[in-house]
Structure 1
Amino acid sequence: MAALALLGVAAALGPGLAAPRYRPDWASLDARPLPAWYDRAKVGVFVHWGVFSVPAWGSEWFWWHWQGQHDAAYESFVRRRFPPGTTYAEFAPHFTAYDFQPRQWAQLFQRAGARYVVLTTKHHEGFTNWGSPVSWNWNSVDTGPHRDLVGELGEALRESNLRYGLYHSLMEWFNPLYLADKQNDFKTQSFVLKKTMPELYDLVLKYKPDLIWSDGDWEAPDSYWNSTSFLAWLYNDSPVKDTVVVNDRWGRGCSCRHGGFYNCADKFRPGTLPEHKWEMCSSLDSLSWGYRSNMSLPEVMDETSMIEELVQTVSLGGNYLLNVGPTKEGVIVPIFQERLLALGRWLGTNGEAIYESQPWRVQMENTTDTVWRGLCPSPAEVLLSQVHLQRTRGLCHLPALASGQCPAPVLTHCIPRHTGDTAGLCWHSGVAAPARGRDAHNPALHAPISPPSPVWLGGEARGGEVMPVGGSQHLPVPFFLIEAKRNFLFHIEYIIFHLRESLLQSLLHCVTSVLVGTAVISCFHDE
């Protein structure tokens, strides 16, 4: 990608080269290289939390649906649940955060495999989760929790070595200053000068975020929001100028065109590899970003869908930002915790195929199965992945392989994935040493030949081979992936093993292929 390439050039030039000054225009701002930490991170957690967590019904757009659109369902809900004449502002004291334990959140997100966390500092309702100096009595310090939620979570996340991102809505649905500017066709900027920009500068100076996730921009052009001026200051003079990352929601028409990484749209899924770094934000609750008390289990993303989204996103060069909505008391409900921990277990096994990986020249196989590919960062290791969405068909059973009935090379080594497993990894290592005078970088295996142990029989095997970069001849090193029969629907794991005494001064890059039913791998010789 162009931004990543620029980053590499800048790094090569060394610290002696003065950092460029960015002008307040998109041509200059868009040329800024994306800080490398973001692309390497790959996985983040999104947290939508605010006064909308009090009614906890419908979605985080509760106020707008109720009093902006006068949606009959929302009006009926308020009549049934609250006294006559209730206003939205009366929900704020009930946003207590009584059970908010920021360190527990940070530990959960860390166990989920997240490398960064993005918190809503202010949604479109205008309530700020810190003591905003320009949001009197409509912030978490003056009312409700009487706590600096942004500051507390940030401190806990950094103790856990997680990057901290701040979501901030540029607009506020019912702010009189914003409505006046809107009435003037955004030719006046009272709201921007007195509310939006003071808050953005305050957030950066006070909390020094690693990421600013802007939103609420779509009604007005970036010239109204003063977006380019703010970003020029952020990149040139702010305390986070060298590390901060931003998204693309800085004014009408900016999405998918300007900014740091691109969101393009909520739950954006490109069909092909984008040229620009991007992020998919998704939510465990399929119908809302904020917590809903009327959420049902079928509306919660299952583990299979969650991991499929992650794999597809990373294969296409994106980051995956998975959202949870805490309750008004600050509890992340058990079903959300369970999903996050499931993601963490998966990443604990497969993380080397996700973190710091890069898109390969082919992202998806043209087969009847679904295969997603990516370039692993780890050299001199072979990573094998398995996706057990269904059992593989038409492959040789291990008993047949062991008895010589299967038309495949002799298996010489087997490794169980876990103690007591009924299947493992087998590969052929009976390859002669390179002939005298051949390329010394051509890897070959020299381990003694031995038959597979019958202890590991009971799975299925699929052949593959190791291939060098650049379309050279295939190296004669076939391997076999053995699939264990499991009792659960979806399981994927990587087996990482070093080819000891087999790599003669060579460096391998591993291309993983995640396949519905099984998985294959191709390793490439780095010339």
Structure 2
Amino acid sequence: MRSPKLPGPALALLVLPLLLRPPGSAGGPAPFDPTWESLDARQLPAWFDKAKFGIFIHWGVFSVPSFGSEWFWWYWQKEKIPAYVDFMKNNYPPDFTYEDFGPLFTAKFFDANQWADILQASGAKYVVLTSKHHEGFTLWGSEYSWTWNAVDEGPKRDIVKELAVAVRNRTDLRFGLYYSLFEWFHPLFLEDESSSFQKRQYPVSKMLPELYELVNKYQPEVLWADGDGGAPDTYWKSVDFLAWLYNESPVRDTVVTNDRWGAGSICKHGGYYTCSDRYNPGHLLPHKWENCMTIDKFSWGYRRNAGISDYLTIEELVKQLVQTVSCGGNLLMNIGPTRDGTISAIFEERLRQMGIWLKVNGEAIYETCAWRSQNDTVTPDVWLNSWAMDSPFTGHL
């Protein structure tokens, strides 16, 4: 691989030393009640604010067609967008269903150790894998997913377990999992939806049991919820689950969660805010936040039809990282592996380029905190940051 041309003096992050007094301790943590008022008061585990940079991995059955985006089924079957309809018409038999993609999701070249080594080289401090996207296919042998999972279908492997073991054995990254609350075509969710969510068959029999199973079995330190399907947090019983997560789960002391726990909760409730995909306010926020964004400008999943100009350059990615950290956020940078389990050359190159930059400039990123000003108005590519010593993050700046 040719040595990457990395951002030079045109982009800078000025770090200013700042000694802050830690807030007084109130003793041991009290049990959290199943209310947003109580849950939102939980102190964010300090490791997350110190980490600053993580890698998102979108991988699933949508990686088989690898056309358009990870929302392939929705655009093909629900919205019937002509480009997606024509793609299926030109490449697959007329009776081909989305479920028929399952056996083609082979992951035959998936090597969790290789992935872990690439992640370590990126300089990231945590990784979040899509354990289940909106299509409902789980990357572990879920007891609640019939045979629509990676152990019974396709790879015949526990992808979540393999990556969790490799990351924990070979890297210093924290392991996290993304989980979609709803599923596009699950019959129980569709029945609940038709009742305006007065029925709660789906969360009681499918979603909640799977979340408990995920946490107890794989102990993720990031739990990244998504996909409320238009249902409120009361339908999902989110506060009850989060109270268990914070009080009793095996990761209660270290786990962090986001804000996507039901319609109306985003950017309002949860451990840290995401507010929207690719969210970058450009100014300091009063609450810890994360900018989840993609190297591919148009998709979270792998796209075979992506051109080189569809990918952000390393200069653009470093700028995103610098701006995000200066404004008090974390950057969660996404890649999409292929259906056979490889990380394509363009994604690997970007990850390694970021790691090279962080080896030189990491002191200005890791374990820093926001300064009183974020941007230099005379030289707009200068973003300000500061060092802090022994100052645990409470969730608010």
**After TM superposition, is the score higher than 0.5?**
yes
Show the counterpart of 1:104.
114
Distance 1:221 1:378, change over 3 A: closer
SS at match of 1:138: coil
Distance 1:175 1:208, change over 3 A: same
Q: Give 2:28's aligned amino acid.
A: A
Q: Give 1:212's aligned amino acid.
A: L
Show the counterpart of 2:223.
212
Distance 1:250 1:8 in 2: 30
Distance 1:302 1:178 in 2: 40
Show the counterpart of 2:57.
47
Superposition misfits of 4+ residues, deviation over 6 angstroms: none
Following superposition, the deviation at residue 40 of structure 1 comes to: 0.5
Following superposition, the deviation at residue 377 of structure 1 comes to: 4.8
More helix by share: 2
Q: Which runs of 5+ in 1 are unaligned?
A: 1-6, 380-527
Kept in 2, the 8 Å contact 1:169–1:215? The answer is yes
Show the counterpart of 2:11.
none
Q: Give 2:246's aligned amino acid.
A: Y
Distance 2:313 2:249 in 1: 41
SS at match of 1:203: helix
The one of 208, 211, 216 aligned to 1:200: 211
Following superposition, the deviation at residue 195 of structure 1 comes to: 0.6
Show the counterpart of 1:350.
361
SS at match of 1:293: coil
Distance 1:8 1:179, change over 3 A: farther
Show the counterpart of 1:369.
380
Show the counterpart of 1:255.
266
Q: Given the alignment of the two structures, is residue 24 of structure 1 paired with residue 34 of structure 2, yes or no?
A: yes
Kept in 1, the 8 Å contact 2:282–2:323? The answer is no
Q: Give 2:334's aligned amino acid.
A: N
Could you tell me the TM-score, scaled by structure 2's length?
0.91
Could you tell me the TM-score, scaled by structure 1's length?
0.69
The one of 275, 281, 296 aligned to 2:286: 275
Q: Give 1:222's aligned amino acid.
A: D
Show the counterpart of 1:442.
none
The one of 336, 355, 371 aligned to 2:347: 336
Q: Give 2:248's aligned amino acid.
A: D
Q: What is the root-mean-square deviation in Å for CA atoms of aligned residues?
A: 1.4
Distance 1:252 1:83, change over 3 A: same
Q: Given the alignment of the two structures, is residue 59 of structure 1 paired with residue 66 of structure 2, yes or no?
A: no
Distance 2:127 2:42 in 1: 23
Distance 2:356 2:150 in 1: 34
The one of 173, 178, 196 aligned to 1:162: 173
| TM alignment of 1:421-500, pairs within 5 A | none
Q: Give 1:111's aligned amino acid.
A: A
Q: Given the alignment of the two structures, is residue 321 of structure 1 paired with residue 332 of structure 2, yes or no?
A: yes
Distance 1:62 1:293 in 2: 13
Following superposition, the deviation at residue 9 of structure 1 comes to: 3.7
Distance 1:355 1:370 in 2: 19
Q: Which runs of 5+ in 2 are unaligned?
A: 1-20, 391-397
Distance 1:8 1:20 in 2: 19
Give the number of the structure whose alpha-carbon radius of gyration is greater: 1
Distance 2:221 2:155 in 1: 25
| TM alignment of 1:231-250, pairs within 5 A | 231-250=242-261
Following superposition, the deviation at residue 369 of structure 1 comes to: 3.3
Following superposition, the deviation at residue 71 of structure 1 comes to: 1.4
Q: Give 1:31's aligned amino acid.
A: A
Distance 2:387 2:120 in 1: 22
The one of 166, 175, 195 aligned to 1:184: 195
Distance 2:185 2:66 in 1: 20
Q: Give 1:285's aligned amino acid.
A: D
Q: Give 2:128's aligned amino acid.
A: V
Kept in 2, the 8 Å contact 1:354–1:376? The answer is no
Following superposition, the deviation at residue 378 of structure 1 comes to: 8.1
Kept in 2, the 8 Å contact 1:218–1:253? The answer is no
Q: Deviations over 1:51-70 (max 9, x none)?
A: 00000000000011111111
Following superposition, the deviation at residue 368 of structure 1 comes to: 4.9
In percent, how many aligned pairs have the same letter? 53
Show the counterpart of 1:304.
315
What is the aligned length?
369
Distance 1:8 1:181 in 2: 47
Show the counterpart of 1:286.
297
Following superposition, the deviation at residue 182 of structure 1 comes to: 0.4
Show the counterpart of 2:393.
none
Following superposition, the deviation at residue 329 of structure 1 comes to: 0.4
Kept in 1, the 8 Å contact 2:367–2:387? The answer is yes
